[in-house]
Structure 1
Amino acid sequence: MLSFITALLHTKLKVQGDTEIKLERAHRALAPKPKESSAPPRSIIVRFLDFSVKQIILQQAWKQRDIEFEGQRVHFDQDYSPDLQGKRKGVREVIKQLKENNIKAQSPYPAQLKLFLATGVRVFPTLVEAQSTLKELGVDARIEERDILERELTQDKWSTQENRRMQLNPTDVRAIIRGDNGTND
């Protein structure tokens, strides 16, 4: 797999000649093998030894857009966690609605919403923070109850029994939402 991916990158991407592509590993995604021959093949996950080379490869692939191998289009993207993929999907759906209303928008990493409005550029860390602005723009954003709870838990200060003020960090909030009880059961 390593030699195949290295050869694919060298032959299909127009990367600068001095960029040395070194891969740590490459393997198929753990999804089941497609049963139908017409189904798209499983993804290949590649880990680069050098982050800057990974960024060069991704930028070039996104710039070229139409990259094919044996008549099939090849897509290049980051390997995000399922949680982050879900958040980015929600932002993409909002951006689609915004574009239908002729409003330019982007989604900077991790899953922010960047709006280019007549009044200026506005960046929202999450869709929860953007909810009132989106409502004014006539866009219906589907926001998970979990995201609202996470925001409330991180924004509000909590008091302990000793009346000390404290604020939960994002790791604690995720543990509360998942229902972790501190054990490894």
Structure 2
Amino acid sequence: MISFITALLHTKLKVPGDTEIKLERAHRALAPKPKESSAPPRSIIVRFLDFSVKQIILQQAWKQRDIEFEGQRVYFDQDYSPDLQGKRKRVREVIQQLKEKNIKAQSPYPAQLKLFLATGVRVFPTLVEAQSTLKELGVDARIEERDILERELTQDKWSTQENRRRNQMQLNPTDRKYMKTKRDGMFWWWGQLGM
């Protein structure tokens, strides 16, 4: 599989001649083999040894667009987890609605929403954060319960016992001022820490 993919990339893509394509591994996706010959073949997962070569290959494949092997179109894309693919799909659906309203939008990695509005560029980490803005623009965003829960859990509401202790150990502004005026404050400092 590695030699097949390397040969395919060299023959079908117009990559710079000095690009050395080294693959760590290449294998079929873990889907069942299609029973019918007319069914599309399984995907091939490729892992490059060099990230920059992977980027060159992807950019060139996306630029060329029409790449064929034995009469079948070949598509190139990132290998995202099913969860991330679902999030990116929901963002693409929102972007499609925005394009219908002549509003430029993009989806930076992983599944952010970047809006180019008359007031400026706005970037939202998730569709949950963009919900109110999208509502104002008349766009319906499909937001799942899991996304809302994930946002609530990732906010800074949670703190560990270690963080609480560290915050308690910090000096308040009055104590800091006292420390600056007392250069011989070693005794005071040790006394404050309870030593």
Q: If the TM-score is normalised by the length of the shorter chain, which range does it land in?
A: 0.7 to 0.9
Give the stretch that moved more between structures: 33-42 or 60-69: 33-42
Q: CA deviation at 1:165?
A: 9.1
Distance 1:165 1:70, change over 3 A: farther
Q: Taking structure 2 as the reference length, what is the TM-score of the superposition? A: 0.80
Query: Partners of 2:81 and 2:121 in 1: how far apart?
Result: 28
Q: CA deviation at 1:47?
A: 0.6
Q: CA deviation at 1:71?
A: 1.0
Q: Deviations over 1:57-76 (max 9, x none)?
A: 00100111111111111100
Query: Partners of 1:65 and 1:163 in 2: how far apart?
Result: 51
Provide the secondary structure at the position in 2 that maps to 1:163: helix
Q: CA deviation at 1:158?
A: 3.7
Unaligned runs of 5+ in 2: 176-190
Q: CA deviation at 1:85?
A: 0.9
Q: CA deviation at 1:170?
A: 32
Unaligned runs of 5+ in 1: 173-178
Distance 1:137 1:13, change over 3 A: same
1:89 corresponding residue in structure 2: 89
Distance 1:4 1:165, change over 3 A: same
Query: Partners of 2:21 and 2:38 in 1: how far apart?
Result: 31
Report how many aligned residue pairs link the two structures.
176
Query: Partners of 1:49 and 1:169 in 2: how far apart?
Result: 51
Q: CA deviation at 1:162?
A: 11
Distance 1:160 1:122, change over 3 A: closer
Q: CA deviation at 1:44?
A: 0.2
Q: Taking structure 1 as the reference length, what is the TM-score of the superposition? A: 0.84
Matches within 5 A, 1:30-69: 30-69=30-69
1:180 corresponding residue in structure 2: 192
1:176 corresponding residue in structure 2: none
2:155 corresponding residue in structure 1: 155
Q: CA deviation at 1:36?
A: 1.9
Q: Deviations over 1:51-108 (max 9, x none)?
A: 1100000010011111111111110001111111111111111111111111111111
Q: Deviations over 1:9-62 (max 9, x none)?
A: 000000000000011110000011112222111000001111110000001001
Distance 1:115 1:163, change over 3 A: closer
Preserved CA contact (<8 Å) 1:154 1:170: no
Q: Which has the higher helix share?
A: 2
Give the stretch that moved more between structures: 159-168 or 24-33: 159-168
Provide the secondary structure at the position in 1 that maps to 2:86: helix
Query: Partners of 1:57 and 1:94 in 2: how far apart?
Result: 28
Preserved CA contact (<8 Å) 1:153 1:168: no
* Identical positions, percent: 95
Q: Which one has the largest radius of gyration?
A: 2
Q: Which 4+ residue blocks in structure 1 deviate beyond 6 angstroms?
A: 159-163, 165-172, 179-182
